[in-house]
Amino acid sequence: MAKKKISIEDVARRAGVSITTVSRVINNVPTVSKTNRLKVEEAIRFFKFKPNISAQQLAKGESRAVGLIIPRYEGVYSSFYAVEIIRGVGSSCEQLKLDLLLHLTDGRELLNVSNLGGVIFADIIENRQQLESILEENIPCIVINNIIKDLPVNYLGIDNLKGAKTAVTYLVELGHKNIATITGSLITQCAQQRLEGYKLALKEKNVPLKEDYIEKGDFSRRSARVATLKLLDLTHPPTAIFVASDDMAQEAIAVIMEKGLKVPKDISVIGFDDNPASLYGPVSLTTMRQPLFSMAAQAVKELNAIMQGKKTTLKAILPTELVIRESCSHFS
């Protein structure tokens, strides 16, 4: 902590007022005379005084800091996901003047949130214990990117099921019958849901499900490459692939082109994310847009409202949107 110790008292002395008055100025309490306010402000500037946050938190019994808990599973970081979440949360925190405490966790130990005003869980993977313990402490909390029905918790998720269904239905309606999928890491709820949506769409459209057409990836480009190669090697390769992330979809397209095939002429590819990078490949990617950044930003706003007692619960699921570009075409 800071070595020098200019405290509220020094400021008070120089301004010739009580520390209470200084405190009032700091906290923008209106009942301070103009003269005193000016004197205090001068003294603050003079000392470059900044209030001690720990003391403020202790005295007020509240905090303007939010904790962002990110599970540390293999490949979170390569998945475009973590970055968007951190950006969204960070940007909203900056706007609302909230401090942001970032916690990468393997879920093994409980969190001490005594200096936090609220907590955001960016997905829940192998760390339900932490969530449950936070819930007991009765501190404002929101889970994002995960829909949790069996716990009394606020969440803000994305409709991955419907998103995937929309994507695959789109492929079916383009005339495709042989539609494969490359999944994300199935320890995540979103990857599970996207796989579910894939199955559901086929079922509704009476397209038979082939186990060979389901390739398990883990959101890494590497896994997408392996998966795509396997799909291309099948006796009856698919004519369309639904890939669980844009990043993996880009890799799939690269592999397909390396084999001398064309996208979308020979094989259609649809992704999931709407990663801006998808615009600048050899073929611009048709994809399902999911609002990660705004989900994260909104979560902070909602959390802030809850922290201020303006709101109590939140259970919301954000929609995705089909973005049609060049990587899918009619089956011919």
Partner DNA sequence: CTGAAAGCGCTAACAA
Partner DNA sequence: TTGTTAGCGCTTTCAG
Report the interface residues with DNA, using CB under 7 A: 5, 7-9, 17-24, 26-27, 30-33, 35-36, 51-52, 55-56, 58-61
Show the DSSP H helices in 180-331 as ranges. Answer: 189-204, 221-232, 246-258, 292-307
The 266-285 site mask, x for binding a copy of itself (CB under 8 A), equals: ----------xx-xxxx---
Rounded to a whole number of angstroms, the minimum distance from the CB of residue 160 to a copy of itself is 23
19 binds, among DNA, a copy of itself, none (CB under 5 to 8 A by kind): DNA
For residue 152, cis peptide bond before it (omega within 30 degrees of 0): no
Q: What is the CA radius of gyration of the chain?
A: 26
Q: Is 208 left (phi over 0), alpha (psi -120 to 50) or beta?
A: beta
- Give the C-alpha separation, 219 to 243, whole Å: 9
With contacts defined by CB under 8 A, name the span among 2-10, 157-165, 172-180, 320-328 that binds a copy of itself: 2-10
Which lies closer to DNA via its Cβ, residue 32 or residue 172? 32
Which are the contacts of 197, defined by CB distance < 8 A and separation ≥ 6? Answer: 160, 161, 162, 163, 164, 165, 166, 167, 168
137 binds, among a copy of itself, DNA, none (CB under 5 to 8 A by kind): a copy of itself
Helices 292-307 and 81-96: crossing angle in degrees, nearest 10, is 40
Which are the contacts of 167, defined by CB distance < 8 A and separation ≥ 6? Answer: 197, 198, 201, 242, 270, 272, 288, 322
Q: Which of 195, 257, 245, 241 is nearest to 220 (CA)?
A: 245
Ranges within 20-79 binding a copy of itself (CB under 8 A):
48, 50-55, 57-58, 61-63, 65, 68, 77-78
Rounded to a whole number of angstroms, the minimum distance from the CB of residue 326 to a copy of itself is 13
The 217-256 site mask, x for binding a copy of itself (CB under 8 A), equals: ----xx--x-------------------------x--x--
Among 19, 41, 87, 305, binds a copy of itself (CB under 8 A): 87
113 binds, among a copy of itself, DNA, none (CB under 5 to 8 A by kind): a copy of itself
Which lies closer to a copy of itself via its Cβ, residue 172 or residue 182? 182
Could you give the maximum distance between any two Cα atoms of the chain, in Å? 88
Which lies closer to a copy of itself via its Cβ, residue 84 or residue 159? 84
Helices 19-26 and 8-15: crossing angle in degrees, nearest 10, is 110
Which lies closer to DNA via its Cβ, residue 30 or residue 208? 30
Kindly determine how many residues on this chain lie close enough to bind a copy of itself according to the rule CB under 8 A: 59
- Give the C-alpha separation, 32 to 12, whole Å: 14
With contacts defined by CB under 8 A, name the span among 15-23, 33-41, 130-138, 231-239 that binds a copy of itself: 130-138
8 binds, among a copy of itself, DNA, none (CB under 5 to 8 A by kind): DNA
- Give the C-alpha separation, 280 to 299, whole Å: 30
